[in-house]
Structure 1
Amino acid sequence: MGDHGARPLLLLHGLFSSADVNWIKYGNAQILADAGFEVFMPDLRAHGQSGAPHDAEDYPGDVLVRDLQATVDQLGLGDFDLGGFSLGARTAVRGVLAGLMPRKLILGGMGLTGLSGWARRSAHFVDAIDRFGTIERGDKAFVAQAFMKSMNIDRVAARLLLQSVDDTSADAIAQIAMPTLCVCGKDDHDNGSAPELAAALPDGHYVETPGNHMSSVTFKDMGRAMAAFLLD
């Protein structure tokens, strides 16, 4: 989305979501395109319009980082900006640690423990997959089950994908040198504290927007915060 040849911005969506739901449906991608960016929004492996293979060999460690690197190469991105929400933010961080060098980085819906304590968070979603169809309202996994239903998630592929993502240590996070925006909904505590993540980064900046982990992407405040940071 946006004018061809404008400054490239690569955005990665969250777990069980898609580029359309995270970035396009509620207008945030349009805000960024209107701000002068050409916005590239791939669907992650096992999500949206991308493939969802059922072979474990298709989900080696950090497979989403490999996909991200391949996407950057395929698009021929040199000087670009990179952002992600939730699982997309994790992937963006690990992409930088693997050698990608965006000018600026945006981490949406992400706190410090969401990166360093991913194993616990992943176990929550694996449990939701394993108990899919039996989870009743009031159960901590009910929201995940409902979102998987609404997005028609391939649960076999999603389970394999979850097992390919690893923790990111605090020491590694401290190596991310580029200006980084931690933008998070006021009531979003799913991945820990975003202010703590911003403080742990050498050049971290925190902006609070409305909403919780599910709803924050539905407010245009997120897109406006991202645009302001990238244009500053």
Structure 2
Amino acid sequence: MPSFKSDGVELAYDDIAPPGHRDTVLLIHGFASNRYEGWRRTGWYSAFERRGSRVIALDMRGHGESGKPHDAQAYGRARLAADVIGLIDHLGVQGCTLLGYSMGAHVALNVALEAPDRLGKLICGGIGGRLLEPESPSPLAEALPAAMLAEDPETIEDPMARSFRHFADEQGEDLKALAAFLAARAAPFEAADLAGVRSPALVFAGARDELAGDPQALASALFDARAVVVPGCDHFSAIPHALTKGAVFDFQDGLLDEPEPDAWR
């Protein structure tokens, strides 16, 4: 298992490069997931391999085989972006496509803002217009930290928080680390800030993804972005779906329509 240190935390990653690879994709998983569950088991590793792409995927701090601090200060927005930038620099990669899902998409947006010279294209999944809503704790945001620390997950009343806890337990994740991760809650993105994301971007979300909201609302806040709604999918089922992979590959190959002029900033 290859790894590198970022701010003293050991971060595990995979780097799979077919001979003569056509491009490089760096994958960032969602909350309570890891590189194996989020990308390998769901078929993304093999799908990119068939395309001849180099695949890099890391376990974010607090997840998988990476270090798991129990201090919320270890999980700030800038720190998470620096981990990804550190891996890009560690491997000497330039112009990679960055693909993040849910929490990973938040991190990907920050990387695009902090280090635009490291990226080619940007793909953000499992997020949408709700990213831009004024700061007000949602029921899930309030319930999730306590859900990670509940002695009996069956006592968790919020159904989505209970689903995340069951998912974390299935992955054998460190619940105290996940609770610390959540305690470092960041303020919402501002549309004016996101206009500074200049990489060509794709935003996608399942049609039934109540956590994400409308992907077009977020795409319209970016300089050069397209939006795709994956039919029939919710927050959890969109990531393994073949239609999601098709949309991502069409975007990479330049086959999606250009964004409408009024979406440009």
**TM-score normalised over the length of structure 1:** 0.89
Q: Judge conservation of contact 2:150–2:156 (CA < 8 Å) in 1.
A: no
Q: Judge conservation of contact 2:125–2:205 (CA < 8 Å) in 1.
A: yes
Whole-angstrom CA distance in 2 between matches of 1:94 and 1:147:
26
Question: Which residue in 1 is equivalent to 2:4?
Answer: none
Q: Indicate yes or no: 2:64 matched with 1:43.
A: no
Matched position secondary structure for 1:68: helix
Q: Which has the higher strand share?
A: 2
Matched position secondary structure for 1:10: strand
Matched position secondary structure for 2:209: coil
Whole-angstrom CA distance in 1 between matches of 2:115 and 2:252:
21
Question: Which residue in 2 is equivalent to 1:63?
Answer: 79
Q: Judge conservation of contact 2:24–2:55 (CA < 8 Å) in 1.
A: yes
Q: CA deviation at 1:215?
A: 1.3
Whole-angstrom CA distance in 1 between matches of 2:136 and 2:49:
35
User: Closer, same or farther in 2 for the Cα pair 1:119/1:96, shift >3 Å?
Assistant: farther
Aligned AA (2:184): S
Question: Which residue in 1 is equivalent to 2:179?
Answer: 159
User: Closer, same or farther in 2 for the Cα pair 1:204/1:151, shift >3 Å?
Assistant: same
Q: CA deviation at 1:156?
A: 1.3
Question: Which residue in 2 is equivalent to 1:214?
Answer: 236
Question: Which residue in 2 is equivalent to 1:188?
Answer: 209
Q: Judge conservation of contact 2:29–2:100 (CA < 8 Å) in 1.
A: yes
Question: Which residue in 2 is equivalent to 1:223?
Answer: 245
Q: Indicate yes or no: 2:33 matched with 1:24.
A: no
User: For this pair of structures, how many residues does the alignment match?
Assistant: 232
1:109-120 matches, cutoff 5 A: 109-114=126-131, 120=137
Gaps of 5+ in 2: 1-15, 255-265
Q: CA RMSD in A?
A: 2.2
User: Closer, same or farther in 2 for the Cα pair 1:99/1:89, shift >3 Å?
Assistant: same
Task: Select the structure with the greater relative contact order (CA < 8 A; seq sep ≥ 6).
Answer: 1
Whole-angstrom CA distance in 1 between matches of 2:218 and 2:131:
9
Q: Judge conservation of contact 1:28–1:220 (CA < 8 Å) in 2.
A: no
Whole-angstrom CA distance in 2 between matches of 1:61 and 1:139:
26
Aligned AA (1:193): D
> For residues 78-112 of structure 1, what are the alpha-carbon distances to aligned partners after superposition, in whole Å with 9 as ceiling and x for unaligned?
12111100000000001111123311100011113
> For residues 132-181 of structure 1, what are the alpha-carbon distances to aligned partners after superposition, in whole Å with 9 as ceiling and x for unaligned?
52544763322122112212221211122223352321111121122110
Question: Which residue in 1 is equivalent to 2:105?
Answer: 89
Q: CA deviation at 1:4?
A: 4.7
> For residues 34-60 of structure 1, what are the alpha-carbon distances to aligned partners after superposition, in whole Å with 9 as ceiling and x for unaligned?
223101010111111111122455335
Whole-angstrom CA distance in 2 between matches of 1:215 and 1:24:
15
Whole-angstrom CA distance in 2 between matches of 1:227 and 1:96:
20
Question: Which residue in 2 is equivalent to 1:127?
Answer: 146
Moved more, 9-18 or 200-209: 200-209
Q: Indicate yes or no: 2:18 matched with 1:3.
A: yes
Whole-angstrom CA distance in 1 between matches of 2:208 and 2:189:
24
User: Closer, same or farther in 2 for the Cα pair 1:119/1:12, shift >3 Å?
Assistant: farther
Aligned AA (2:131): G
